[in-house]
Copies of this chain bind each other. A is one copy, B any other.
Amino acid sequence: MKRPTLEVVAARAGVSKSSVSRVVNGETTVAPQIREVVLRAVRELGYVPNAAARNLVTRRTDAVAVVVADPPQGVVSDDPLFSTVVRAVSRELEAAGKQVVLMLAESDRSRARVEAYVAGGHVDGVMLVALHGTDPLPAALARTGMPMASFNRTSAPDVPYAGVDNTGGAALAVRHLLERGRRRIAAITGPLDLFEARERLEGYREALRGSGRRSIVALGDFTRASGAEAMRQLLEDDPALDAVFASNDLMAIGALRTLREAGRRVPEDVAVVGFDDIEAAAYTAPALTSVRSPMADQAIATVHLLLGLIEGGPSSPVVIPNELVIREST
């Protein structure tokens, strides 16, 4: 089953290849009756342009690589971040007529693969998601000169990004706990090679600084399991704590579980705040207070950043504001 080519369509319509090409590409300098007859031929033959041939000569691919980079153990694997972001990004890129080439950069091998692919000019631009702060990939990709934008800040300073106000959001959460009269407020932080994690921790410290309260920090990796484990450690270190700020909701969910097992009532004994306001936050028992940072908006902003860059426009980081959603856990 061979697909018709431009030439076949031209023959059918009784015009030249050039004219068919012009019509197909929507150029205006075509007489109406020619356009008409060409369009009919296209329809009758079910003609679809061969993208490979077109790319070969135009040097455009109409494709964008969406690179999702996190370690194999999958810090974000079951994270709503992945689905939310990838979906929002796809939808937006498709609306802009771009194909989405999804690439996972987990191992060193796949990183090299991504780099070669991008350097090979198979895409018009690159969209980065979920990068470790120490990951060399963004810098390597930036060196190819390919237009690029990142969901959240990365280690490469010149890669434009859309991010949320992590520091401000964390401070918001902690101040809320202080207002509720909590005195010993612990934090569960994410992996500190991630900018989000560092900034959220900074916001926690900042808010606490003014209050004269001591900071108590346990390290997690943004997964539920790590949140549960960190909570166990916090309870051991300071049994008198009466509040916890978790750097993301998944860890907050893990913390809730540990608290329940330890017989602590939430929020009576210990108040809990999360970050991200994922959908699951409204379904925990008790429902989780969380800092809402609209990931979909952030994803869309990143896409627009990238599209602007591809068009040759300028780019400046975008910061998405966030707000506190108060539920039962505080």
Contacts and interface: CB of A to CB of B under 8 A. Distances in A.
Interface of A: 1, 3, 46, 48-53, 55-56, 61, 63, 66, 74, 76-80, 82-84, 86-87, 90-91, 94, 99-104, 106, 110, 113, 116-117, 119-122, 145, 224, 228, 253-254, 256-257, 260, 278-280, 282-285
B49 A52 contact: no
B78 A94 contact: no
Contact of A50 (B3, B77, B120): B120
A128 to B, nearest CB: 16
B78 A253 contact: no
B46 A119 contact: yes
A78 B83 contact: yes
A52 B48 contact: no
Contacts of A55: 52
B86 A50 contact: no
B104 A101 contact: no
Contacts of A91: 104, 106
A254 B94 CA distance: 32
Given A1-B145, A83-B77, A120-B48, A101 B103 contact: no
Contacts of A86: 82-83, 86, 102
Contact of A83 (B49, B56, B82, B99): B82
14 contacts: A1-B145, A50-B56, A51-B52, A52-B55, A66-B102, A76-B83, A82-B87, A83-B83, A83-B86, A86-B86, A99-B101, A224-B283, A253-B280, A260-B285
A166 to B, nearest CB: 22
A60 to B, nearest CB: 10
A231 to B, nearest CB: 12
A48 B80 contact: no
A110 B94 contact: yes
Greatest chain B CB density within 10 A among A48, A83, A119 is at: A83
A77 B90 CA distance: 13
A151 to B, nearest CB: 15
A102 B102 contact: yes
Contact of A120 (B3, B101, B104, B285): B3
B122 A51 contact: yes
B84 A77 contact: yes
Given A3-B120, A46-B119, A106-B91, A224 B78 contact: no
B56 A52 contact: yes
Contacts of A48: 116, 119-121
A96 to B, nearest CB: 12
A91 B68 CA distance: 11
B104 A94 contact: yes
A56 B145 CA distance: 26
Nearest to A228: B283
A80 B3 CA distance: 39
Contacts of A49: 120
